């Protein structure tokens, strides 16, 4: 039985996980965490509820604690609700390292969000439309040095609806980042991943339905 320690996850993370009732890694976590920690670009597919958020959040937090540095990771997701849920999971585990995260979604004050972005959060969780608005309207923050780009619900993000906003965002990102895509299904949209990274992907797909 694989444990989080077998995946080289630090004890401070494991302690926080215990507090939220997480004891053993799910299959997508067992497979994707080592690939991400080893520096690979990663595509992980498994059904809803399989623990995809922690599959990317834990290795990002692990790396962040080893080398904190500006805006470290950008997580894009298609809806406000998902953005808040992802932000909450990062916050729950990141307490120990005083994680600064910022959630950038539509329907909230642009000025307040701009101030939060200017304070150099470690993790930015965003919906594409609102983040693209910020990139086009202000220059008080930069994504030029992020280490990780995550596309959560990647099939929906790459399905066409967000193309314009994603192209604004991708232009602001450095080439030498790690790209992580998570999705419930591998669809035709994932053929577009070459726009995200031309490196070789580590791909893990659950065999459950």
Tell which positions 62-81 bind ligand ADP, by CB under 6 A. Answer: none
158 binds, among ligand ADP, Mg ion, none (CB under 5 to 8 A by kind): none
Q: Which of 16, 25, 105, 127 binds ligand ADP (CB under 6 A)?
A: 25
Q: What is the DSSP string of 91-158?
A: HHHHGGGT--EEEE-TTS-HHHHHHHHHT--SEEEE-HHHHHHHHHH--S---TT-SEEEEETHHHHT
Tell which positions 20-59 bind Mg ion, by CB under 5 A. Answer: 52
Eight-state DSSP code of residue 21: T
Binding of residue 156 to Mg ion (CB under 5 A): no
Tell which positions 39-58 bind ligand ADP, by CB under 6 A. Answer: 48-54
- Of 49 and 107, the one with the shorter C-beta distance to ligand ADP is 49
Eight-state DSSP code of residue 190: G
Cβ proximity of 172 and 203 under 8 Å? no
Measure Cα distances from 77 to 14, 33, 67, 165, 207 in Å.
Answer: 26, 20, 25, 12, 24
Q: How many residues bind ligand ADP (CB under 6 A)?
A: 12
Tell which positions 75-94 bind Mg ion, by CB under 5 A. Answer: none
Binding site for ligand ADP (CB under 6 A): 22, 24-26, 29, 48-54
Binding site for Mg ion (CB under 5 A): 52
């Amino acid at each position: 039985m694989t444990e989080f320690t077998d995946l080289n996850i630090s004890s401070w993370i494991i302690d926080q996980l215990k507090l939220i009732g997480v004891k053993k890694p799910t299959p997508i976590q067992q497979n994707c965490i080592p690939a991400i920690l080893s520096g690979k670009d990663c595509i992980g597919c498994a059904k809803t509820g399989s623990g995809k958020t922690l599959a990317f959040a834990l290795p990002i937090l692990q790396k962040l604690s080893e080398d904190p540095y500006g805006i470290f990771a950008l997580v894009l997701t298609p809806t406000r609700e998902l953005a808040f849920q992802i932000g909450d999971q990062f916050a729950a585990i990141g307490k120990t390292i005083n994680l600064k995260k910022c959630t950038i979604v539509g329907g909230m004050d642009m000025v307040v969000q701009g101030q939060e972005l200017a304070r150099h959060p470690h993790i930015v969780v965003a919906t594409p439309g609102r983040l693209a608005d910020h990139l086009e309207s202000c220059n008080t923050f930069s994504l030029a040095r992020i280490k990780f780009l995550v596309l959560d619900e990647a099939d929906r993000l790459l399905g066409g609806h967000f193309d314009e906003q994603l192209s604004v965002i991708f232009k602001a990102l450095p080439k030498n980042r790690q790209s992580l895509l998570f999705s419930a299904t591998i669809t035709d949209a994932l053929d577009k991943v070459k726009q995200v990274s031309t490196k070789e992907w580590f791909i893990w797909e659950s065999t459950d339905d």
